[in-house]
Structure 1
Amino acid sequence: MSAEPYTRDVVGNVSTVSNALIDNVDRVIRGKRHEIRMALCCLLTEGHLLLDDVPGTGKTSLAKAIANSIAGGWKRVQFTPDLLPTDITGVMVYDQRSGLFAFREGPVFTNVMIGDEINRGSPKTQSALLEVMEERNVTADGTTRPVPRPFFVIATQNPRDFQGTFPLPDVQLDRFAMRLSLGYADADTEVSILESFDRARVDDELEPVTDPHELDRVIDAIDSITVARSIHQYIVQVATVTRRHPDLRLGVSTRGTLTMLRVARAYAATDDRDYVTPDDVKALVGPVFGHRVALSAEAELRGTAVETLIADITDSVPVPRTSGA
């Protein structure tokens, strides 16, 4: 049997699952189908998602809607300055009846963990997520325990200049596959939201449209999407420019290029294609690479915007000539 029919079946399955998820989440987050698609491309590769925007734009609602659309477990953690690392990962507790210590699992032992306003947690608490986000394991009292698969962290944060926030460490930002901003709704969409406003929380009433087992199969199957060598080279060339750019003190890591590869495959599959194009990479550079770079002190003083710099870097790299098929 040739690989082509198998790949088309994979694309069809990914497209079916993603469209069902987009339609379901769109019932809550209106007028943001592109952003919803981008978020689901992140999750369909078992990546972690950072929603970065001002208050009131629907960050938490999007996270809850995605979690409710998956027939698996999900838990929410409200990050505060006094939150402890063990409040997230779990803690050893003494059982008086047995006279033994037992591990009490924290909220990371689920399929989807929503970290609400993650940058209000202290750096010590934020670091508790480093191991589980990368290795899908939690080590406590010398014992390593795996979390359920698939495992996603969907975190929300307010801009860093808001009071009471701590900047996320670079090593933690690098563990998020994507950073997205929803932005304000357009005028017509906001009017329709006001007209249909109901106190009932629709996002809590969403019926699941997929389950962890199906998502796990999709995550594994996305690796079969074709990526030409020229696309691999294109991704690395863009990353290399960020590592050498004088306005950046930190460039894109190899983890970042690997993430781009997987997310680009998912992006192509949700567009009903079994191959990746340069346009897929260009569309994803901002969300996948933008939070992985850091401006130099001089660039910050000049007021350089990371988004503009990343766009200029991408435009400076020649686009490969390939059909991708």
Structure 2
Amino acid sequence: MSEEVLTRASELFSSLFGELERVIVGQREALEHMVITILCNGHALVESNPGLGKTLTISTLARLMELKFSRIQCTPDLMPSDITGTYILEEEDGRKQFRFEKGPVFANIVLADEINRASPKTQSALLEAMQERHVTVGRETFPLERPFFVLATQNPIEMEGTFPLPEAQLDRFLLKIQMDYPSPEEEMAIIDRYTTNVVPDVKRVMGREELLMLQRLTRDVPISNELKQRVVKIITATRRSIPEIAYGASPRASIGLILAAKARAFIHGRSFVSREDVDAMAYPVLRHRIILTFEAERKGLTSDMVISNILKSV
């Protein structure tokens, strides 16, 4: 990757985060992880308490990149056709014909709010679109426009009336992002920003073609064989007889960790992947892919604690 390309990309990322931070206070790591997911052409699962700005963040990202944005509020009575779209009967010149009415999944950035409140059938319809990048209704297949990014959210504190995502479906998310409450200083800044008549506004930073180019460049960031071997050791360690882990990560995690590390290096203005990039991205890549044993959960261990121990041992 040439120095000129890296400099131009660094300017774009600097402008992107600068505009985002005019609207979102704090949450820098979560913002980076969302952009990393988009650069890797993947999807993200966000787990956080209500009111932390998930919808505002992702809709602002769509505006900064001039992308189509849609929001799906997942509820138990949501049907697959409410997401993918359906055929409607129309009459024109005395003739009746079916026309396909596209659903909210036909956008560049889709927010699936509280995905675990939708029924398994509806979850499957969305996850099929995520994996295959197209929607099949009846006998016709409709491709989804690139780039296509799904940000699904779930609320960790209210599990009544929910349908937890199966492990095989969780594996389709590149990252699991966690958003925490702001610090007192950050909360004061939020209050000052959103209790006046002056509403923060943002300007376009890049367009669809520039984003697609950045996605291609992300895959060109070099990574050494030594670091590739470290990634494989980390992932295979989750499958060994570690007493805290019931089920380990699949090869999809190896691919995801390398791509995420490349994207992180790219965002930070480096033309190569470092060990720091691999270790930093191991947490969001693995925290939803490893299943802890009941005994580990009883002791109060979290996925991040187990991942930390693996990184130290490899």
TM-score normalised according to structure 2 size = 0.93
- Asked if structure 2 preserves the Cα contact closer than 8 Å seen for 1:115 and 1:153, the reply is yes
Q: State the partner residue of 2:69.
A: 74
2:292 aligns with 295
1:214 maps to 210
- Corresponding position of 1:3: none
Any conservation in 2 of the 1:223–1:265 contact (CA below 8 Å)? yes
Shift of 1:159: 0.6
**C-alpha contact 1:10 1:222 (8 A) present in aligned 2:** no
Secondary structure of 1:27's counterpart equals: helix
Identity %: 38
Structure 1 residue 230: Cα displacement: 0.8
Cα distance 1:236–1:16, how it changes in 2: closer, same or farther (>3 A)?
Answer: same
Q: 1:147 aligns with which of 137, 144, 147?
A: 144
Which residue number in structure 1 is paired with residue 156 of structure 2? 159
Letter paired with 1:83:
L
- Alignment match, 1:323: none
Query: What secondary structure, in the 3-state scheme, does the structure 2 residue paired with 1:115 have?
Result: strand
| 1:117-266 correspondence to structure 2 within 5 Å | 117-159=114-156, 161-198=158-195, 202=199, 205-244=201-240, 245-266=242-263
Secondary structure at the residue paired with 1:102? strand
Output the amino acid matched with 2:263.
Answer: A
Cα distance in 1 between the residues matched to 2:116 and 2:12: 32
Separation in structure 2 between the aligned mates of residue 60 and residue 251 of structure 1, nearest angstrom: 31
The answer to whether the 8 Å contact 1:10/1:221 transfers is no
Question: Unpaired runs of 5+ in structure 1?
Answer: 1-5, 318-325
SS at match of 2:105: coil
Per-residue Cα deviation, 1:41-86 (whole angstroms, up to 9, x for no partner): 1111211122111112222222222122220211111111111111
Amino acid at match of 1:315: K
**Alpha-carbon offset, residue 199 of structure 1:** 6.5
- The answer to which of 300-309 and 262-271 deviates more is 300-309
- Displacement, 1:201? 9.1
Structure 2 letter corresponding to 1:15? S
Pairwise CA distance, 1:143: 2.0
Q: Aligned equivalents of 2:169 and 2:6: distance in 1?
A: 31
> Is 1:102 matched with 2:95?
no
Q: CA deviation at 1:236?
A: 0.8
Structure 2 CA distance, aligned partners of 1:64 and 1:309?
Answer: 33
Deviation sequence 1:193-221 (CA, Å, 0-9, x none): 22232366947x43321111110011011
Residue equivalent to 2:30: 35
114-123 vs 244-253, which deviates more? 244-253
Displacement of 1:119: 1.6
| Separation (CA, whole Å) in 1 of partners of 2:126 and 2:143 | 13
Aligned 8 A contact 1:18 1:40 in 2: no
Instruction: Give the CA deviation at 1:96.
Output: 3.2
CA distance in 2, matches of 1:176, 1:14: 25
Three-state SS of the structure 2 residue aligned to 1:86 is helix
SS in 2 for 1:54: coil
Aligned to 1:322: none
Deviation at 1:10, TM superposition (A): 3.6
Range moving further from structure 2, 189-198 or 255-264: 189-198
Count matched residues: 311
Q: Equivalent residue for 2:52? A: 57
Letter in 2 for 1:52: E
SS in 2 for 1:21: helix
- The 1:152/1:200 distance shift into structure 2, 3 A limit, reads farther
Q: C-alpha displacement at 1:148, in angstroms? A: 0.5
Does the residue aligned with 2:23 lie in a helix, a strand or coil?
coil
Distance verdict in 2 for CA 1:299–1:195, change over 3 Å: same
- Following the alignment from structure 1 to structure 2, what is the Cα–Cα distance between the partners of residues 10 and 227? 18
Q: Distance in 2 between matches of 1:202 and 1:110?
A: 26
Structure 1 pair 233–188 and aligned structure 2 pair: CA distance change class (3 A): same
Contact 1:75 1:114 in 2 (8 A): yes
* CA–CA distance in structure 1, aligned partners of residues 87 and 304 of structure 2: 44
Shift of 1:18: 1.9
Q: 1:69 to 1:262 in 2, by over 3 A?
A: same
Moved more, 41-50 or 290-299: 290-299
Output the amino acid matched with 1:74.
F
**How many angstroms does 1:297 deviate by?**
3.4
Secondary structure at 1:243's aligned position in 2?
Answer: coil
Aligned partner of residue 312 in structure 1, secondary structure: helix
Relative to structure 1, the CA distance from residue 162 to residue 211 in structure 2 (aligned partners, 3 Å threshold; closer, same or farther) is same
User: What secondary structure does 2:194 align onto?
Assistant: coil
Q: What SS is found at the alignment partner of 1:162?
A: coil
Q: Are residues 200 and 110 of structure 1, via their aligned partners in 2, closer, same or farther at CA, if it must alter by over 3 Å?
A: farther
SS at match of 1:93: strand
Which residue in 1 is equivalent to 2:310?
313
Tell me the TM-score normalised to structure 1 length: 0.90
